[in-house]
Structure 1
Amino acid sequence: MDRFYSMQIFVRVAELNSFTKAAESLGLPKASVSTYVQQLESQVGTRLFHRTTRNVQLTNDGLAFYERCKDLLMDVEETEGMFRDEGLGVKGRIRVDMPVALSRNVVIPRLPEFLKENPQVELEISSTDRRVDLIQEGFDCVVRVGNLADSGLIARPIGEMKVINCASPQYLKKYGTPKKLEDLSGHLLVHYTLTLGGRPFGFEYFEDGKYKTMKMKGTITVNSTEAYQSACLSGLGIIQAPEVGLRDLIKKQKLQEILPKIISEPMPVSIVYPNRRNLPRRVKVFMDWLDDVIKDYINH
């Protein structure tokens, strides 16, 4: 309990940038506030503040510790009030990571409705195609597209996205429209890999009850979904991507679906979160909302 109380005092000092003001706001002697912070620094094994006669400032370690303390204190407050406040909105910060296209096209445009219902929530959204380390980087949950590795994390399946083959009209005018798998020997593929220098997978197709890949020539390799789509629009080759993200481009005749009978494996979409027994209510509420929004998008 002393450590919990020390964390509360530390957060107050950090927010007011003053031991004196923190002591006044808490109704404690300044010496007591200083003692609690010193004990906390001894417990965590690092200096949390730079102290001068005129100024109190968080160290780099102190800043990181302050962010975690705020989350922990909010979790305790939320847990203590989970029955008392069940009919009220949630509050606190939520850190989430998701692919760039999903963030830009699906989630962020719908966020005003979530924040209207939960005005005391603060969201930190990371948008990247890189596989972040959920635990090490401090995310509450992440949205992942594609097959998941066995990581010891909890996966909440949302659905699957149908993958189609596409090329731009100018590309097809130059190279012709392939009608069967064998025709691809005379075509170019836009190669995609998460890490440049890695080996691209090739063109995927289903045959004899399983998914296979065929090597194809290509003049460009990219490591982001934005660049992947842009390369296709520029006539640099064929891509295989989720149909839902290409629908508007096909409708506007900027891209054209090809080889509709040759299918690649659908891409599963999941929300992944740490194996925590007491998941903060704010995270659960956000994940439920996220589940509905993404399902609506991929099933549209």
Structure 2
Amino acid sequence: MDQLVAIRVFARVVEAGSFTRAADSLAMPNATVSKLVQELEAHLGVRLLQRTTRRLTVTPEGREYYEKSARIVRDLEDIDTSFNAARGTPRGQLRIDIGGSTARDVLIPALPGFVARFPDIRLDLGVSDRQVNLISDNVDCVIRGGALDSSSLVGRQIGLAPMVTCATPAYLKRFGVPRYPEELKNGHRLVSYVSAQNSRAVPFVFARDGERREIKVEHSLGVNESNAHLAAGLAGLGIIQTFAYAAAPALKEGMLSEILQDWLPPAYPFHVVYPHNRHVTQRLRVFIDWLVEAIPPRLAAVAA
């Protein structure tokens, strides 16, 4: 048994909460992962994991061994990172999760600059608006908008995205152009963005001269994915609040018209987030630094 490999495999099983998910993330056969953990248990003479047909539980001995061995693995990673840094060649795989419109309009158009600077880093993008578990899903970092709400995560703000309220000219011709936020309650159709995390509609929010107004109206349509949310607005299904960078092309071409410009929604903060107990590799560090440098202007992009 290669004990270091077995320790790393065991750690991944604990983090993933499943032999199958651990095997997938390590690109190993499920049987190999199971065998390595069994050999590690035989070597230590203790049960690390309690297996049943329906669930996997870490024993108290397994939890203690995981916490102690994880420090050793992080120390080894620090040594590897220091050698890579000395050679100036960050390399390896980065797994990044990001929302749909942010990937399409912000990150992917900027990525050629990162790839040119760091050609030995391989990127895997998970694109969806659902919230991932960074540990069990083996994701290095996520790029998300909104406030940070988990003490188990570390976040670095990478920029602010202006928001716009808009609808198609045909919709506004039919239903009228609202002059005040409260008019949205009077016969207008709202297309709400619905959080994929908690299935709640995000309220329409407006601000002017330090005054904040939140409009909670029963929406006519709720959508839980950002690209589809914008598409619903473009289809004339109602009024939307969305990121200015996402709506900019349609606003410029006249497919959407901005409304309530005296009552702008507050800018939306974006963060890059990663687990606080996970080693920050050199490749993740340079990616985060690049994000802070390259992304803010794209988040702030508006129609000319």
Contact 1:196-1:221 within 8 A present in 2 as well: no
Q: Which residue of 1 aligns with 2:263?
A: 262
Determine the C-alpha separation between the residues in 2 that align with 1:205 and 1:187: 16
Q: CA 1:277/1:101 → structure 2, altered by over 3 Å: closer, same or farther?
A: closer
Over the aligned positions, Cα root-mean-square deviation in angstroms equals 3.5
Code of the residue aligned with 1:123 in structure 2: it is L
Code of the residue aligned with 1:238 in structure 2: it is I
Q: Which residue of 2 aligns with 1:287?
A: 288
Contact 1:196-1:223 within 8 A present in 2 as well: no
SS in 2 for 1:93: strand
The more displaced of 124-133 and 268-277 is 268-277
Q: Which residue of 2 aligns with 1:106?
A: 106
Q: Which residue of 2 aligns with 1:253?
A: 254
Determine the C-alpha separation between the residues in 1 that align with 2:73 and 2:130: 30
Determine the C-alpha separation between the residues in 2 that align with 1:232 and 1:118: 38
Q: Which residue of 2 aligns with 1:234?
A: 235
Determine the C-alpha separation between the residues in 2 that align with 1:216 and 1:277: 42
Contact 2:155-2:272 within 8 A present in 1 as well: yes
Q: Which residue of 2 aligns with 1:205?
A: 206
- Residue 251 of structure 1 deviates from its aligned partner by 0.5
- Partner deviation per Cα, 1:91-116 (whole Å, 9 max, x = no partner): 11111111111112222233333233
Q: Which residue of 1 aligns with 2:215?
A: 214
Q: Which residue of 2 aligns with 1:79?
A: 79
- Partner deviation per Cα, 1:151-204 (whole Å, 9 max, x = no partner): 331110112111111011111111121122343213111022124994424332
- Residue 125 of structure 1 deviates from its aligned partner by 1.0
Q: Which residue of 1 aligns with 2:143?
A: 143
Contact 2:155-2:273 within 8 A present in 1 as well: yes
Contact 2:160-2:296 within 8 A present in 1 as well: no
The more displaced of 120-129 and 108-117 is 108-117
- Residue 45 of structure 1 deviates from its aligned partner by 6.0
- The residue correspondences of 1:1-300 to structure 2 (distance < 5 A) are 3-4=3-4, 39-40=39-40, 42=42, 76=76, 79-80=79-80, 82-83=82-83, 85-184=85-184, 185-195=186-196, 198-206=199-207, 209=210, 211-276=212-277, 278-300=279-301
Q: CA 1:81/1:124 → structure 2, altered by over 3 Å: closer, same or farther?
A: closer
- Partner deviation per Cα, 1:229-252 (whole Å, 9 max, x = no partner): 011101111111121221111111
Determine the C-alpha separation between the residues in 2 that align with 1:158 and 1:85: 24
Q: Which ranges of structure 1 fall in alignment gaps of 5 or more residues?
A: 18-34, 47-71
Code of the residue aligned with 1:130 in structure 2: it is R
The more displaced of 202-211 and 109-118 is 202-211
Q: CA 1:142/1:183 → structure 2, altered by over 3 Å: closer, same or farther?
A: same
Determine the C-alpha separation between the residues in 2 that align with 1:255 and 1:83: 52
Q: TM-score, normalised to structure 2's length? A: 0.71
Q: CA 1:182/1:299 → structure 2, altered by over 3 Å: closer, same or farther?
A: closer
Q: CA 1:109/1:75 → structure 2, altered by over 3 Å: closer, same or farther?
A: farther
Determine the C-alpha separation between the residues in 2 that align with 1:218 and 1:114: 40
Determine the C-alpha separation between the residues in 2 that align with 1:15 and 1:149: 31
Contact 1:155-1:270 within 8 A present in 2 as well: yes
Determine the C-alpha separation between the residues in 1 that align with 2:154 and 2:94: 17
Code of the residue aligned with 2:292 in structure 1: it is D
Sequence identity, in percent?
33
SS in 1 for 2:121: strand
Determine the C-alpha separation between the residues in 2 that align with 1:5 and 1:181: 59
Contact 1:144-1:271 within 8 A present in 2 as well: yes
Q: Which residue of 1 aligns with 2:13?
A: none
